[in-house]
Amino acid sequence: MQTKKFDPNNLPKALTDEQLTQKLIPTRFIPEKPEELKDKNVVYVFDSSDSFNLTYDELVEIVSKARKFGPRMVPVLGTIGD
């Protein structure tokens, strides 16, 4: 098995609080795209004027998604400092 050296410059960038929040919002709150934008790659961006009434199940969904985005250990194969 071929191992690669750990490259700290190759880690994914951390999401901002706003970016993470966008990913955690339940799908039912995301407005449908207008007909003229159906074939475009556009995303609705929420801001401080948006508000939500959540069910318990939706709150559990948010917590579940947040856990998936949480801190992760980076597996290291081979030796460090070669």
pLDDT at 75 over 70: no
Domain spans of the chain? 12-27+46-65
Please, are residues 26 and 62 in contact by the beta-carbon 8 Å criterion?
yes
Q: Is the pTM of this model over 0.85?
A: no
Q: What's the rounded Cα separation, in Å, for the pair 52 and 68?
A: 22
Q: What is the tens place of the pLDDT at every residue in 20-32?
A: 788 888 888 888 8
Please, are residues 44 and 6 in contact by the beta-carbon 8 Å criterion?
no
Please, are residues 76 and 8 in contact by the beta-carbon 8 Å criterion?
no
What per-residue confidence (pLDDT) applies to 72? 53
Residue type, 80: I
